[in-house]
């Protein structure tokens, strides 16, 4: 026996066949939920809207006429419900103020920071290995001159000279980037 169409099932529902309505719901609930969820952005509200849509269709079953596909009919009901729900949903007055979000970087500041990090990374990569290491240990790891001297097996005075030359080289490499961003 061929599977009845949605329209045939709705005609059966019109005659009081609730099992036919169950079949309709099973066929369309997932797609209807997807539409409601994408519109409302909230899973619980989407669930409420599709339940309401199917209840309204069931209530109006005695007036159903298969002039359009059932799916179109369902989406028409669901669309009206979702739009009305969004219109009615207004902020509720309250005595309690919401928490202020923690101050953070704006999207522009975030992009500028990423560009700066990229320029610094490129400049560091262009430095000779000893210069790069002394910069990394001092400014990124926070080591003291004595700790860096121990790590690099040299004198503290040697580290001071190496650090001065590394900063000069780094500044020269970053100059075009800084001038571009003024």
Residue 181, token pair as written in the block: 């961003």
Q: What's the mean pLDDT when you consider all of the chain?
A: 84
- Separation between Cα atoms, residue 119 and residue 173, nearest integer Å: 9
Q: Roughly how many angstroms between the first and final C-alpha of the chain, as a whole number?
A: 77
Least confident of 13-17, 39-43, 162-166, 177-181: 177-181
Residue 95 belongs to some domain of the structure:
no
Query: Cα dihedral sign for 98, 103, 108, 113?
Result: negative
Residue 110 belongs to some domain of the structure:
no
* Residues spanned by the domain of 126: 121-180
108-166: pLDDT as tens digits: 777 888 888 888 888 888 888 888 888 888 887 788 888 888 888 889 999 999 999 99
Q: Yes or no: say if 124 and 170 are a contact pair by the CB < 8 Å rule.
A: yes
Q: Which of 42, 63, 88 is the last residue of a domain?
A: 88
Predicted structure pTM score: 0.50
Within this chain, do residues 13 and 79 fall inside the same structural domain, yes or no? yes
Q: Which of 88, 106, 130 is the last residue of a domain?
A: 88
Instruction: Output the domain CATH number for residue 21.
Output: 1.10.1740.10
Within this chain, do residues 84 and 129 fall inside the same structural domain, yes or no? no
Within this chain, do residues 77 and 24 fall inside the same structural domain, yes or no? yes
């Amino acid at each position: 026996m061929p599977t009845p169409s949605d329209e045939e099932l709705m005609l059966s529902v019109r005659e009081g066949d609730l099992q036919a309505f169950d079949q309709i719901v099973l066929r369309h609930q997932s797609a209807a939920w997807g539409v409601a969820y994408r519109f409302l952005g909230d899973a619980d509200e989407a669930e409420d809207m599709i339940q309401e849509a199917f209840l309204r269709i069931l209530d109006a079953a005695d007036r159903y006429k298969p002039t359009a596909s059932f799916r179109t009919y369902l989406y028409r009901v669901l669309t009206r419900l979702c739009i009305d729900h969004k219109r009615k949903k207004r902020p509720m007055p309250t005595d309690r103020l919401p928490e202020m979000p923690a101050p953070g970087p704006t999207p522009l500041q975030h992009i500028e920071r990423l560009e700066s990090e990229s320029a610094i990374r490129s400049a560091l990569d262009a430095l000779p290995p000893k210069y790069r290491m002394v910069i990394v240990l001092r400014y990124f790891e926070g080591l003291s001159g004595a700790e860096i001297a121990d790590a690099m097996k040299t004198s503290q005075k040697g580290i001071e000279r190496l650090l001065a030359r590394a900063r000069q080289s780094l500044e020269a490499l970053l100059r075009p980037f800084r001038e571009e961003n003024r």
